[in-house]
A and B are shown apart, each in its own frame.
Chain A
Amino acid sequence: MEAESHRAGPAFTHPLPLTALLYGMLLLCAVITLLPYAWMLSSSFKPNVEIFSATVQLIPAQPILGNYTEAIARQPVGRAIVNSLVVAGVETIAVVLTSVFTAYPFARLRFPGRDVLFLLILGTMMIPSQATMIPSFILVKWLGWVDTYQGLIVPRMMAPLGIFLMRQFLLTLPRELEEAARIDGCGRLQTLRLVLLPLMGPAVATLAIFTFTASWNEFFWPLIVVQSNEMRTIQLLIAAMKQAEVADWGVIMAVVTLSVVPTVAIYVMLQRYFVKGIAMSGLKG
């Protein structure tokens, strides 16, 4: 983003050999980052003869689609992707709505207990979900939600980080806007919906993308809640395939490729929001 213009670099103009070295190192980092993806893609298009060949071949000599068709025929790939889409989609909508709604009083209203409650909600982030997995499972079991969408989604419908991000963003918006709306007779909810929400586009997009990606990639909670093959998310499916079919790497890599495509595509298309998200959440807001 601002890298090119923020300042004159660390103030050194590099002599030519150094510049060449820097480009070389960048290229090396890029190759190391991309090689596993290349290996994944290449294996997913290779027939078994080439997968179990004695020599390295990054580009398949005779690329085939057989691994993909076989994966779809033999594994419930479609169902798993639908499950992941439902869970990540509903969770994202819920987190965005609850975060905006809960952040509003914290950012804009004065009331007793505001700061304590806010810190308490943020404080829940310090409790690692793995440490409390047993009671969480018991709770879901008691609610009758084991192996259901509710069980996967409901305990993830609010996020402290989302509330925090939305509050920080609301604090940057000028108060005059709402005062004008209130004088015109808008209620608080109306003001939030009609005046503030339209201005929150970038922040909402950032939160939505982060939530969707995190939910799509989530493994631990589905592992505990899901019991049947039908309810498996795509992450659970590929993990199970790896445990079961140790030898069939072509098919496994085909399904792994399918599981990776959505988040990578979202990232490549909407990466400016990721950069913003790191700036918002990574360092003190």
Chain B
Amino acid sequence: MLRPRWWNEETRFAWLAILPAVAFFALFVGFPAGYSFWLSFHEWNMMSATPTWIGLENYAALAGDREFLRSLAQTALFTVGITACIVVLSLGMALLLDQKLRFIKLYRTVFYLPAVTSLVAIGIVWVWMFDPQYGLINQALKGLGVEGPLWLADTRLALVALIITAAWRNVGYFATVFLAGLQGIDSMYYEAARIDGAGPWASFWQITVPLLKSTIIFVVVLSVILSFQVFALIYVMTSGGPAGATSVLVFYLYQQAFTYFRMGYASAIGFVLFAIIFVLTVLQFKAFGKPVEV
């Protein structure tokens, strides 16, 4: 019998070895993703036997759901705030860590600590930091003679307090990413700039920033993707309050699914989230070229 040339021991072994992984991801990622999309065209409370087909009604309802639109806007606001903080502060921190100074390794260790600490623990500690009466922040402000605000209980400040907390957690991590980028820049460029009479300020804007472009894009996209999925901090710190002021996309989705059991509706929100992340990831690939060399 004639067999194609690729059908050999190597192929059989490889396919057999990869089969478990393919089956795993099909079951635990592919199936939920497909089923979620299918469910988003249905109405279902998990009690009735089968979901009822309602076409695009969930999506139409989303477009007019003020709470949903509000949580979407608040997610965007949170994302923009935290990403701006991260780019500026992490790059600044990375520049500090790139200097020839003593104890630099120790500082690097310290700055990365929040990245290995759980968001739940961080959220709880910061709720206690922000406590209007007994928290460290307002007690320190009182020491300076300033009456501190209510922070998480203040509808206008709650999101700001969340951004401060998220920034505290992520700045050190992204500084490490920036540092790797900075260390990839050849010192030759700085030498040349110095000979041409450029000071530190000029060489930062003319050399560091342009040569760090791909790192900056990577950091921005990753930060946006992570921020759009923010959940644990919200759950622990505000539960979406006060008065819905910090309800974000994933929190709203969680509520619709597991508080109100509107599974179809929640699935439609999930698809919106997926679409946003998908577009951002594609943008990242565009900026980077091919994601991996295969």
> How far, in whole Å, are A109 and B104 apart by their CA atoms in the complex?
43
A87 lies within 8 A of chain B by Cβ: no
> How far, in whole Å, are A22 and B98 apart by their CA atoms in the complex?
11
Instruction: Output the residue of A104, A112, A139, A239 with the most chain B CB within 10 A.
Output: A239
In the complex, which residues of chain A have a beta carbon less than 8 angstroms from the beta carbon of B98?
3, 9-10
Binary per-residue interface labels of chain B (251-294) against chain A in the complex, 1 for a CB within 8 Å, 0 otherwise:
00110011000010011001101100110010000001001101
| Cβ < 8 Å to A, chain B residues 92-141 | 93, 96-101, 104-105, 107-114, 116-129, 131, 133-134, 136, 139-140
Contact B18 A8 (CB under 8 A): no
| Cβ < 8 Å to B, chain A residues 116-142 | 117-122, 124, 126-128, 130-136, 138-139
Contact A111 B6 (CB under 8 A): yes
> How far, in whole Å, are A4 and B104 apart by their CA atoms in the complex?
9
Contact A238 B124 (CB under 8 A): yes
In the complex, which residues of chain A have a beta carbon less than 8 angstroms from the beta carbon of B31?
135, 139
Contact B29 A127 (CB under 8 A): yes
Q: Which residue of A lies closest to B194 (CB)?
A: A11
Contact B24 A157 (CB under 8 A): yes
Contact B21 A135 (CB under 8 A): no
| Cβ < 8 Å to B, chain A residues 25-69 | 25-26, 29-30, 32-37, 39-40, 43, 51-56, 58
Offer 30 A-B interface pairs, CB within 8 angstroms, sorted by A.
A3-B98, A6-B183, A7-B183, A10-B187, A11-B191, A33-B172, A34-B110, A37-B125, A52-B133, A56-B140, A105-B18, A109-B10, A113-B15, A115-B294, A118-B294, A121-B22, A121-B25, A127-B29, A132-B29, A133-B270, A134-B36, A134-B270, A138-B46, A238-B120, A249-B131, A256-B125, A263-B118, A267-B113, A275-B176, A278-B177
Of the listed stretches A70-78, A173-181, A194-202, A213-221, name the one at the interface; the rest are far from the partner chain.
A213-221
Residues of A within 8 A of B (CB): 2-4, 6-12, 14, 19, 22-23, 25-26, 29-30, 32-37, 39-40, 43, 51-56, 58, 98, 101-102, 104-106, 109-115, 117-122, 124, 126-128, 130-136, 138-139, 155, 157-158, 160, 163-164, 188, 213, 216-217, 219-220, 223-224, 235, 238-239, 242, 249, 252-253, 256, 259-260, 263-264, 266-268, 271, 274-275, 278-279, 282-285
Cβ of A4 to closest chain B Cβ, rounded Å: 7
In the complex, which residues of chain B have a beta carbon less than 8 angstroms from the beta carbon of A118?
294
> How far, in whole Å, are A133 and B166 apart by their CA atoms in the complex?
23
> How far, in whole Å, are A40 and B113 apart by their CA atoms in the complex?
14
Q: Say yes or no: A131-B124 contact (C-beta < 8 A), given A112-B11, A139-B27, A139-B32.
A: no
Contact A268 B120 (CB under 8 A): no
Cβ of A1 to closest chain B Cβ, rounded Å: 8
Contact of B257 among A102, A133, A213, A275 (CB under 8 A): A133
Contact of B21 among A110, A121, A139 (CB under 8 A): A121
Binary per-residue interface labels of chain B (22-55) against chain A in the complex, 1 for a CB within 8 Å, 0 otherwise:
1011011111110110010000001000000000
Binary per-residue interface labels of chain B (150-177) against chain A in the complex, 1 for a CB within 8 Å, 0 otherwise:
0000000000000000001000100011
Q: Say yes or no: A283-B270 contact (C-beta < 8 A), given A33-B110, A139-B31, A259-B118.
A: no
> How far, in whole Å, are A19 and B273 apart by their CA atoms in the complex?
46
In the complex, which residues of chain B have a beta carbon less than 8 angstroms from the beta carbon of A157?
24
> How far, in whole Å, are A284 and B284 apart by their CA atoms in the complex?
12
In the complex, which residues of chain A have a beta carbon less than 8 angstroms from the beta carbon of B126?
36
In the complex, which residues of chain B have a beta carbon less than 8 angstroms from the beta carbon of A14?
99
Contact of B33 among A25, A43, A132, A253 (CB under 8 A): A132
In the complex, which residues of chain A have a beta carbon less than 8 angstroms from the beta carbon of B278?
126
Contact A36 B6 (CB under 8 A): no
Q: Which residue of B lies closest to A237 (CB)?
A: B120
Contact A283 B180 (CB under 8 A): yes
In the complex, which residues of chain A have a beta carbon less than 8 angstroms from the beta carbon of B21?
98, 102, 121, 158, 163
Contact A138 B236 (CB under 8 A): no
- New A-B contacts (9) at CB < 8 Å, excluding given A26-B96, A102-B20, A266-B116: A34-B110, A36-B168, A56-B143, A112-B6, A131-B273, A160-B25, A238-B120, A259-B121, A267-B113
Contact B99 A217 (CB under 8 A): no
> How far, in whole Å, are A235 and B93 apart by their CA atoms in the complex?
30
In the complex, which residues of chain B have a beta carbon less than 8 angstroms from the beta carbon of A213?
116
In the complex, which residues of chain A have a beta carbon less than 8 angstroms from the beta carbon of B218?
282-283
Instruction: Output the residue of A11, A163, A188, A285 with the most chain B CB within 10 A.
Output: A11
In the complex, which residues of chain A have a beta carbon less than 8 angstroms from the beta carbon of B28?
136, 139, 155
> How far, in whole Å, are A139 and B253 apart by their CA atoms in the complex?
18
B190 lies within 8 A of chain A by Cβ: yes
Contact B96 A22 (CB under 8 A): yes
Contact A111 B11 (CB under 8 A): yes
Cβ of B153 to closest chain A Cβ, rounded Å: 12
In the complex, which residues of chain B have a beta carbon less than 8 angstroms from the beta carbon of A130?
229, 231, 250, 253-254, 270, 273
